[in-house]
Amino acid sequence: MTFFRSEEHISEWEREHPELKGSTISLDQGLGLILTFGATRGDYNYAPLDASEMRQAFEQFGFAGDFWKPPE
């Protein structure tokens, strides 16, 4: 995982590393996923999200496509 300080930094990094492919997510997307999947993980009655809830969470934060679909 690489953290970038700006869109310009991303573009510069991509030019310098054309052999590497990936994608970027915003801080808001990352934080949203962290809070959705892990905010209650330390609770006594913690229950992980089911596949439908996971799909909704990914869609809520703008993650679409087959890569982001949880296994059924």
**Residues in the chain with pLDDT < 50?**
none
Mean pLDDT of the chain: 86
- Looking at the chain, the whole-number percentage of residues with pLDDT higher than 90 is 22
pLDDT at 72: 66
Quick one: how many helices (H) and strands (E) in the chain?
Answer: 3, 0
In the prediction, which pLDDT does 16 show? 94
pLDDT score of 15: 93
pTM, whole model, 2 decimals? Answer: 0.65
Q: CB-based burial of residue 64 (10 Å sphere; 0-12 exposed, 13-18 middle, 19+ buried)? A: exposed
